[in-house]
Chains A and B, each alone.
Chain A
Amino acid sequence: MDIVPQLIANSIIAGSIYTILALGFNLIFSTAKFIDMGYGVLTAVCGYGVFFLSSKLGFSLAFSIPVALLVSGLVSFSAYKLIYRPLRARKASGAILLIASLGVLFFLQAILAIIFTSQFQGLSSILTSNQTLELWGGTMTELQVITTGIALVLSLIVLIFLKGSRFGKAIIAISDDEEVSKIIGIDTDNLIGIVFFIGGIIGGLGGILIGLDTGIEPTMGLPWFLSAASAAIIGGIGNVYAGIAGAFFLAFVENFGIWKVAGEWRLTIVFVVLLVFLTWRPQGMFPR
């Protein structure tokens, strides 16, 4: 039996999730200019939000998903308002912001564990139907196909929004040079706040899709953050197209690496790829 079609399908599934998560990471990193380790925990915040609303309180998915996304956006926004903004205002270095974001990661993770216990929760039972589809010799579930669709549509929306709207252009200006943007009258503080809000929603969306597919636990934040950051760096920080390319490249290397090397070395494979890019191509896959 030829396993390549299935491996391709597996890579597409993983790549779609990476795309979504890398998108949020990219937006936050390129405007706020620091590595936000707390970003990953938003997947858990939003995943548990949906779990609580739909499994515990019995609300429909159509209600719980938007509410959970809003919560995750607000959590991200408040982290910015309360912690990152004051730090940035006094020109704290990236290292200080990074350590503060580690604090956010630990804090939120522990709060989730206190409220919901550390037990693993599968969200897949919430879905009423999740057929498996056969595609060119590989199989994918409906949800996985939808996830891929969401990843691509979301990237497109973000792209149009960045290029087309005044607001998007202001964000690009900030990522090019924050000082100059301030001088020409852009309200950088508020804009970065909005970016954190949007980033929170995107990270949360990733969390819901992960939860529906493979399940959630409070400690999921750090591993997913590392995948998202690796995908964004491999593609090239600050570039949405490149983020998609990086995400799928990473997913393919990972899944084919499992085939050709061995499954237990998967993390090593991912991180060696990351180190190779950081060393020889810090600008990512595409020339600047």
Chain B
Amino acid sequence: MEPDAQGNGSSVAKTAIWLVILVLIVGGLIVYGNKGKEKKEEVVKEPIKIGVILPLTGDAASYGEGARNVYQIAADEINVAGGVSGRMLEFIIEDSKCNGKDATSAAQKLVNVDKVQVILGGFCSGESIAATPVAAEAKVTLFSPGSSSPDLTGISPYFFRNYPSDASQGKALADTAIAKGWKKVALIQEQTDYALGVYKAFAEAFEGAGGVIVKEETSTANSDFRSQLTKLKAAKADALFVDTQTPAMSERIFKQIQDLKWSPAIIINDATAGDVKVISTYKTLLEGALTAEFSADPNNAQFAKLTADYKTKFGAELPFQAYGQTEYDAVYMIKAAIEAVGYNGEKIAAWSRTVIDWKGASGSVTIGTNGDRVGGHTVEVVKGGKIEKYQ
């Protein structure tokens, strides 16, 4: 003991007691937790454990909550219909707070303690980038339905995603803007990896063709965009690109555009376009707005079923539809993979590269050799509060 700890035995004893209590609590929790699991295992065949990494607290918690609900819907459907080769799917969900540290902790725990072979996640690109080395080391598949950073393209044979990289979307939108004869575009970008990725791809194509972009960036915590919008309005651009991470952010921006009595031609990214509610609420403002999605076909039967089920089960609209569809598909793709090659991380990762024209809620899925979803975004237009194909 250190001499300056006042030397009296009682403080040392107290510390010791506190530590013992702590160890008992932690140990008790672990034992208790394991007991719960063992009981379930006794019932029928051992369930198939799928690791899940999601941001459930922090700024990105709103995505994590939506994703968890969608996963649950898909897993419940599968389990009610008899599971995967007669075994139930069971999720082990870990909070990764949208940052690298917690994502690696979560991945380490899933890989080494729960011994899962497949991890769904991460959601934020930062989570996936940090968790990939952990998964690759243990030969476990990391399958992200939400990370879109171009940095993830070809990062590891053990990583793949059914959400496309941001690069294709920005290019599709820029091409259409150029075709429309737009020379100058005002752009408001949320400071997140996704929105920045879309901007970069858009800027490369648009400025490459001689266009000019006037850009304002805004932090996620911000809620007052009036002065930034005032600046953009004064730039007298041909169109305004609202490049946000979430429909909620776009909703605020749309409201403030209206408050400014401004009615520009608008471009939105697929994060916003996927939200039916926002599109219909602001249908006057958004009439004729351009967007690019890789699917979000409301006529897709599986997707329509997902949105309906979500509403009955959770009493709310499916919050982030662009992600909801890939999250839903991800669970079914894992089912397909396990049925095809068995519950083995290495084999599932290899299987992922063979996925061609897999039909799901997000349309037809093809995974390239670099682990990215193949297929570009199609340009669409908002008409009367609904999204239609752009002609």
Contact = CB atoms under 8 A, between A and B. Distances in A.
Interface of A: 1, 3, 6-7, 10-11, 13-14, 113, 117-120, 122, 124-125, 132, 134, 139-141, 144, 210, 214-215, 217, 219-220, 223, 254-256, 258-259, 262-264, 266-267
Nearest to B248: A120
**Residue of B223, B261, B281 ringed by the most chain A CB atoms within 10 A:** B223
Contacts of B261: 132, 134, 139
B251 interface: yes
24 contacts: A6-B226, A13-B224, A14-B226, A113-B57, A117-B65, A118-B61, A119-B62, A119-B248, A120-B246, A122-B251, A124-B255, A139-B259, A141-B259, A215-B223, A217-B62, A220-B223, A223-B221, A254-B227, A255-B226, A255-B227, A258-B228, A258-B231, A259-B230, A263-B216
A17 to B, nearest CB: 9
B82 to A, nearest CB: 32
B391 interface: no
B226 A13 contact: yes
A3 B234 contact: yes
Contacts of A139: 259-261
A118 B65 contact: yes
B230 A132 contact: no
A255 B62 CA distance: 29
B216 A215 contact: no
Interface in B212-234: 216-219, 221-224, 226-228, 230-231, 233-234
Name A's interface SS.
helix
A10 B226 contact: yes
A7 B230 contact: yes
Contacts of B224: 10, 13-14, 214
A288 to B, nearest CB: 32
A258 B227 contact: yes
B65 A132 contact: no
A29 B335 CA distance: 58
Contact of A3 (B233, B251, B255): B233
Nearest to B246: A120
B369 interface: no
A247 B373 CA distance: 50
B330 to A, nearest CB: 21
B252 interface: yes
A10 B227 contact: yes
